[in-house]
Amino acid sequence: MAVNRDKPDRWKADLAESVDMYNSWFIDFAPQVFRDTRIKVTEDVASTLKATDNLRNLQPDILRENPSILPTLRMCTCPPIARDRLIGLARVPKSVVERMEVAGKLPVRLPREHLDQELRKITNIIIRLVDRDVFPWLDTNQTPLESEVYRAATIVADRLCGSSADPIVRNAQEVRQLRGIAAWLDGQGYHLLPATQRVKFDEMPPGTYSFRLNIPVNFLEEGGKTVNIPVDAVIMRKTAQGGDLPLLVEAKSAGDFTNVNKRRKEEAQKVQQLKATYGNTIEFILFLCGYFDSGYLGYEAAEGIDWVWEHRINDFAEFGL
């Protein structure tokens, strides 16, 4: 059963409405989302400055105790340096920096002495490149005024938010999309399973749904190894019988046409893995808002992937919900 993927005559009009919906949301809400995030990030930067005595005492022990502050320190330099640039300049293993920045943790297999050497290389580069226009007290050896520290924290926070502006907006948009799905499902008499209630996706009671559920699949490229695929929304129809699988929904938004066409293979790969594990009866659809052109839609349709436009959310009913 196809709902939208077999109706290319509607795609152009749907695209126009979807772009308008995304742009309206962005203009009305994205600035506030960004400002709220910047306030929180400024507080985090201020904590980092306090822990390092306002960068006057940047020692490896600081990174050992607070590995997650490394992105903040990268934005304290002139010019601000990207993660890969830091790896090259400091000549430290990529795994060390990625572990600290992505997981917020230290590598577990490096001996302490070796790790201290790597952390020393990082702090040496940060100290050498620190932006002394932002941190002028480093040249005067004077204790900075509270206003100077706050000004420096806001500058670094702006740099951090600027470097991750797209993820900030994308995450806020995803939250909004999932709220929209929840509101629609609640209106149809469905019930959200509590996050504390651990349930297998294929054992959900009829008439229930869950967000961000992991679906185990057999990863054929690695000899059948089982890996978890996160799915944004999992919905067990009210009419489901024993053995029926739920509807899987991936929420996607886009503020331009470029990135979606770079990422369009991701959904196809996910569907292939799901079908290889659970058979062709498993259903996976997209929930779209924003810039998804005919090239993207045609690719997904060719892979057998259908979708619901957020501006026409009632199309969920046509999937038997």
Least Cα distance to 89 among 127, 52, 62 occurs for: 127
Q: Judging by beta carbons within 10 Å of its beta carbon (0-12, 13-18, 19+), is residue 202 exposed, middle or buried?
A: middle
Domains identified in the chain and CATH numbers: 8-29+166-319 (3.40.1350), 35-164 (no CATH)
pLDDT digits (tens, 9 = 90+) for 171-205: 888 888 999 999 999 999 999 998 777 778 888 89
DSSP labels for 33-62? HHHHHHHHHHHHHHHHHHHTTTTTS--HHH
Residues 6+ apart with CB under 8 A from 222: none
Model confidence pTM above 0.85: no
Alpha-carbon 225 to chain mean position: 25
Give the residue from 119, 139, 115 showing the smallest Cα distance to 56.
139
Which pLDDT does position 222 carry in this prediction? 57
- Please report the pLDDT score of residue 220 as a whole number: 61
Residues of the chain with pLDDT under 50: none
Report in angstroms the alpha-carbon separations of 120 from 113, 215, 287. Answer: 11, 41, 47
Q: Judge whether 235 and 209 are in contact, CB under 8 Å.
A: yes
